[in-house]
Structure 1
Amino acid sequence: MKTRYITGIAALGLTLMLGLVSPAIAQDMAPIDVNTADVTLLAELPGIGETRAAAIVEDREANGPFESADDLSRVSGIGEMTVQGLSDQVTF
C-alpha cells in the first residue's frame, strides 16, 4: 500500500514537472522566419492557427515579404494584440 502511494505521488510530480517545463521549452525555440516558413510551421505560432497561417503565406506571395511584426497586421484577422504576442517569436 505504501509503495503504491509513493509511486502515485512520483507520477503526479512528474506530470506536474512536465507541464511546467513545456512552456519554457517552447520559449527557447528559435524565432520563426515569417518570410520563409510554410503554413504548418506558421500555424504553430500562438494566435495564428492554420487559417491565418495560410493567409500569411498568401499575403506574402501577393504583396512581398514582411519587414516587421507590425506588417503582419496587413493580414486579415491579425490585430495589434496578436502582433505584440508574436514580436519575440518571429523574425524577418
Structure 2
Amino acid sequence: MGNFNNIINSDTPVLIDFHALWCGPCKVQAPILKEVKHELNEAVKIIKIDVDKNPAIAAKYQVRGVPTMALFKNGKLLWRQSGVLQKNDIIQVIRQYA
C-alpha cells in the first residue's frame, strides 16, 4: 500500500487500471490503454492493479467491478469509472486534469 501511495502522489496524472486476469472486458481495455499511453506519452502514467493480488487497495477504493479506471494526481482521486472505456474518452478525462 505504501508503494501505491508513492505512485499516486505524482504531479503527473496517474491512471490506475483495476483489472483481473479472468476478466474478459479487461482484455479488451488493455490495448486501448496502450494507445492512450502512446498518444499521451509522458503526460500520464498508466498503472495496472490486479484486484486479486491487491485486495487491500481494491477495497480501499471500493472497486467492485473490473475494469475500473481511477485517475489520481498529487495523491487525490480525481475521477473513476467502471467498464470498458474508449481511447478518446480516456484521453479527454486525462487532459481535463493534466
TM-score (norm 1): 0.25
Larger Rg: 1
More strand by share: 2
Higher relative contact order (CA 8 A, sep 6+): 2
TM-score (norm 2): 0.24
More helix by share: 1
